[in-house]
């Protein structure tokens, strides 16, 4: 009698494990084969927004993480580096053109840090992201 109970428990366990394997395979197939929408964020007239990322915090590597996240969003990151100092308290998005629309799009993508207008003529980038010590507030995966 005791052997029949153990046999039944093994069969139930095998069915549960088999169900888990099938669920994992289906999940993998869904992730691998389902058509994905590209997360591309374009500026006005369908062109890409060129962005500089400057780390103004004491944490190393945060600039690279933000740059990677921006690239995943379809932005063209043209420069990643350190800011002129490492004691920026707040992260800011700087509009380098007279029209701040591109900077607003970048700011919205990052979780809405403040946008500052500081227009200058540069072919390098139209938006600069300066990362401050409040970097944990950024929406970066």
3 state DSSP class of 95 = strand
Please, which pLDDT band fits residue 41 given cuts at 50, 70 and 90? Answer: low
pLDDT tens profile 54-89 = 999 989 899 999 999 999 999 999 999 999 999 999
Q: What one-character DSSP code corresponds to residue 93?
A: E
Q: Which are the contacts of 45, defined by CB distance < 8 A and separation ≥ 6?
A: none
Cα(2)–Cα(47) distance, integer angstroms: 73
Q: What is the pTM of this model?
A: 0.67
Nearest to 90 by CA among 124, 36, 130: 130
Domain ranges of the chain: 1-36, 44-137
Nearest to 105 by CA among 73, 61, 72, 131: 73
CATH number of the domain located at residue range(s) 44-137 in this protein: 3.30.70.2390
């Amino acid at each position: 009698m005791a052997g029949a109970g153990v046999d039944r428990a093994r069969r139930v366990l095998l069915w549960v494990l088999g169900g888990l394997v099938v669920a994992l395979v289906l999940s993998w197939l869904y992730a691998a084969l389902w058509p994905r929408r590209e997360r591309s964020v374009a500026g006005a007239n369908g062109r890409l927004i060129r962005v500089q990322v400057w780390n103004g915090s004491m944490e190393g590597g945060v600039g690279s993480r933000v740059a990677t996240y921006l690239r995943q969003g379809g932005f063209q990151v043209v420069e990643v580096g350190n800011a002129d100092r490492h004691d920026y308290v707040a992260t800011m998005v700087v509009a380098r053109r007279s029209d701040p629309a591109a900077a607003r799009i970048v700011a919205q993508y990052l979780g809405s840090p403040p946008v500052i207008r500081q227009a200058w003529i540069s072919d390098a980038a139209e938006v600069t992201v300066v990362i401050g010590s409040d970097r944990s507030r950024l929406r970066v995966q």
